[in-house]
Chain A
Amino acid sequence: MPSEAWAFAVAALLLVAAVVVEVVALVAGPAGAGRWRVPGLWLAAVAAAALVVALILAVAARQAWSPFDLQQIAVSLAAATLVIYLVLAVGLKAGGGGLPVGLVVLALILFAWLGVRPGGSAPDAIQRGLAIQVQWACFIVGSGGAIVAGCAGLALAVRARLIGRGRELAWPRRADLHHLLSVAAGLAAVALAAGLAVGTWWAWQATGLPGTGDPRVAWLVAAWLVVLMAVWTYRLGERSGRWAAGLSLVAAALAITGLLAVTDLRLILGL
């Protein structure tokens, strides 16, 4: 087993533990929630460190970080999502989306570990510029932000549904989840726009066109537009929270599909 696979396994185990702790915190009720949330965050933080190690090992094995290596993209996205969630949860003291974030990151790790081969197509000269690396780094940070916002939106939706049924679980405060969603969506809007700016500039310099024709970029631009919609729902007034939650979920789905599944989707459709 390659060395990065061990790091994947460690990260996956730690995340499973973090998810279990989050579930325990949820069912422990308001009194026990505080006691369990901190260990959950610590486990997630160690899992994030293991993911960073896995990424470094995967990059070292290929001698370069490549946005065309699906495994590296999946690990990068998982690490970015977890780090962004931890920074926002600790910095804003607005946890609560930990359970969906943990599950999504776990799925990404399993995808990178078991679902995809390392490697990928060799980039040509135009695809190897520093600008391309910066563009994809911004896209991954932005997608991580969109996933965290989407998870907060999902937590809001589940919370509303289960509270409506009278379940007594230790749900985070609605305002905290909205705050997490808002900041994560803002980060996604800025980072995806920065990636788009760098990518457009490079495509213009290298090919004279506004884009390089990579279908993944179109999906990420669509995710950016949906994130902008979520950010600008303030005009919708009282319904804005509900719309923002739904739109953040859509943006997260677009970002994940765009980064990891567009090529397969096109193959399935025979394109």
Chain B
Amino acid sequence: MWRFFAAPATLLILLALLAVILILSTLIPQIPPDVSTSPQYWLALQPDIPSPGNDLAQALGLYGIYHAFWFRLLLVLTGLALFVWGVGSAELAWRASRGRWTPSDLALWSCHPLRNRLPASRAPDQAQAQLGDYLGRRGYRTAEVTRSHGIETAPNWVASRRGILLWGRPLAFASLLLALLGLAIMTTWGWQSNQWQPAAGERMVVGHGTGYTIRLDAFELFTGSEGQPDDGRYESRITWLEGDQTAGQGITSVGRPATWDGLAVRQVGYVPDVTLRGLDQAGKPLRLLPGGITSNAAEQVSMAFDSSETQQVIVLPDQGYFLLLNLEPASAGVEPLLRLALLRSAEAEQQPLAVLRQSDAVSFDGLKLEVDLGYRPVVKVDYRPGMALVIAGIVLSVVGLAVGWLFGSRLVWMAVAPGEEKAVVHLLAFGGVGESGWFSQLTAQLEEELTDAV
């Protein structure tokens, strides 16, 4: 098993599969997190998806790739390969930093290292001393390879320069593993609520065994220099309740969640909100009933217009009227526009009542209606354990990759053996992209040194 994950092609194939899957996920419609409770309904609404009942793609989980079993299995396999590669590169870095090598360590040096063979014009002992002197001047640290007892072999050394930076590679592997671990923790134990569009004072039970309730105390949309809403700046004041007791308070704005006990309230947007109340001919409060809601009529109703809704209906049960509210969304800094119309019966034609850009009062048939235009926040509550690990893992991988990129280390295995002339120096280094440059430069310099010094 270890050999399978340590095999050169394994990690590369796993990474290639991950890359292919990432691209597939952008070409195949993915079930959004908000509809995860009713994915079949969402799938049925998609024009590009064939009948969900007999769709092979659905059986394979292609509409929810990141939640499919095989994708998680792929992540686990990638994690194992990263672990094995990390251990291998850490072992190499550890040996390089200790400077203790045995002949068996040569196996660590990959199966196809860079090789070269240099003739020397001196005896092996002299060539060895000359090499050590030259490499020392070039900033290399040399360590003799411990030979097995009773076995006479050529003298071997390992020369390293900036050997400490060899730790950059295991750091990169380990940090990517850390990011995968964080992702696994987050998807296993984390959760996120659906969008919540509360009016001021509304409460929501957080659930998930937390015992907390949150309450929106206020929402503020800041205006820009010309008095128009600045849709980049808005914030909500939140109170965390434990039963009826206040546990804490916080403010959430774009990119700045209000956190409490590992939970976070995130401000993901805002929507227009219309509040209506009114008086009848006798000066009594009007009873209003939002369309589609089966609860009792109220003296004041408040309705949010989210991005998918532009029309709402309110019933005036005592008068038998319907009020139609049409909202044109805000665009390019212009406030939304509300068109108010009256429908005296289901068969009658609409009678336009008012076009409003801001709060105002509307009168008709002796009724007086107060219309308040405002905004509600759109917030989500979530618990994301492990997300910090994901971020830390990616950041550390940046560090590990940058260390390897900016300050590449040098590690050369050398053996001096008697040759046809006086001695032959065998050189071994790791093969790979970009490694051949410094290696060929070093061998050219060593060749010059070993032959010129005679």
Contacts and interface: CB of A to CB of B under 8 A. Distances in A.
Interface of A: 122, 124-126, 128-129, 131, 175, 178-179, 181-183, 185-187, 189-190, 193-194, 196-197, 200-202, 204-210, 215, 218-219, 221-223, 225-226, 228-241, 244, 254, 262, 265-266, 269-271
Interface in B1-59: 8-9, 11-12, 15-16, 18-20, 22-23, 25-27, 29, 33, 48
B239 to A, nearest CB: 20
A207 B110 contact: no
A234 B22 contact: no
Contact of A178 (B22, B387, B390, B437): B437
Interface stretch (B69-77, B254-262, B338-346, B364-372): B254-262
B394 A237 contact: no
A182 B268 contact: no
Contacts of B48: 270-271
17 contacts: A125-B232, A178-B434, A189-B405, A190-B398, A190-B401, A205-B257, A207-B266, A207-B268, A219-B23, A222-B19, A225-B22, A231-B401, A234-B430, A236-B9, A237-B8, A240-B433, A254-B23
A199 to B, nearest CB: 9
Closest 8 CB pairs of A and B: A237-B112, A182-B434, A234-B432, A186-B405, A215-B26, A235-B8, A222-B19, A208-B382
Interface string B205-220: 0000000000000000
Interface residues of B, number: 61
B394 A225 contact: no
B404 A225 contact: no
A194 to B, nearest CB: 5
Contacts of B25: 218
A175 B441 CA distance: 11
Dominant SS at the A interface?
A: helix
Interface of B: 8-9, 11-12, 15-16, 18-20, 22-23, 25-27, 29, 33, 48, 85, 110-113, 183, 186, 192, 231-234, 254-257, 264, 266, 268-269, 332, 380, 382, 384, 387, 390-391, 394-395, 397-398, 401-402, 404-405, 430-437, 440
A209 B430 CA distance: 40
A182 B430 CA distance: 14
Given A206-B268, A222-B22, A237 B15 contact: no
Contacts of B19: 221-223, 225-226, 254
Quick one: which of B22, B268, B384, B435 has the most chain A CB within 10 A? Answer: B22
B394 A178 contact: no
B112 A185 contact: no
Nearest to A265: B27
